[in-house]
Copies of this chain bind each other. A is one copy, B any other.
Amino acid sequence: MTGWLVVAGLGPGDAGMVTPEVTAALAGASDVLGYIPYVARVAPRAGLTLHPSDNREELDRAHHALDLAAAGGRVVIVSSGDPGVFAMASALFEALETRPDLAAGLDIRILPGITAMLAAAAAAGAPLGHDFCCINLSDNLKPQALIERRLRLAAEADLAMAFYNPRSKSRPEGFARALAILTEVCGRDRLITFARAVSTPEQRIATVTLGEATPEMADMRTVVIVGNSQTRRVGTWVYTPRSVA
């Protein structure tokens, strides 16, 4: 068995943020799998088969990739950002858990990428420069009550926060609830940054206070960053100091 399976992070969008090891893995691949818009970022070439698939088909995609690699393919599953942050790496291991025949023998590597929150933080300044947390606000994979409990505890811990998937068309009320909870615990003056389509030509960064924030400021292409109690502006930037007085 000479196949291999790589799960690779493409970063948030800009080709300048794709790491050389990911570029090399793609150059050596026979098959690339992933969500349609991510596979569209991989240039077609002779000898490479692209397998784009739809959202919410992560487990099927993972099994398909395992089958291809077990048959000798040189397989890359692409994720946006980092594959280990709300992306395909966990889905692959969920699939692998049901395939004990493959868990021991297959050559698997996870290649990290620039995850959206860190690209967003860099574009805004340094709002995650002190302790922080990273929470997926989608209630597809966990109960809304657990999301709200985590928001309260993170706010009480005075952690800065980065939110992925803040707001979908089908359930916009979840993000409104999140803003209400954060305003209640952190106060109206806390800074919140909306970073949309980071590192792409459509990038838009806006920092306001929680008192000024509205749910419509976020969509599914937005990463939201809430500062801690020390987070402040300097010029057009927003940053969190390294130390707590």
Contact = CB atoms under 8 A, between A and B. Distances in A.
Contact of A244 (B86, B93, B118, B146): B146
Contact of A153 (B94, B141, B154, B244): B154
Secondary structure of the A contact surface, majority rule: mixed
Given A85-B129, A125-B89, A242-B91, A235 B115 contact: no
Contact of A110 (B123, B131, B142): B123
Contacts of A65: none
Given A16-B19, A84-B128, A111-B122, 20 more contacts: A17-B19, A18-B20, A82-B118, A83-B122, A83-B126, A85-B128, A86-B129, A89-B129, A93-B125, A93-B129, A94-B242, A110-B122, A112-B118, A131-B136, A133-B159, A141-B244, A142-B243, A153-B153, A153-B157, A154-B159
Interface of A: 11, 14-21, 24, 58, 82-87, 89-94, 96-97, 103-104, 108, 110-115, 118-119, 121-123, 125-136, 140-143, 146, 149-150, 153-154, 156-159, 234-235, 237, 239-244
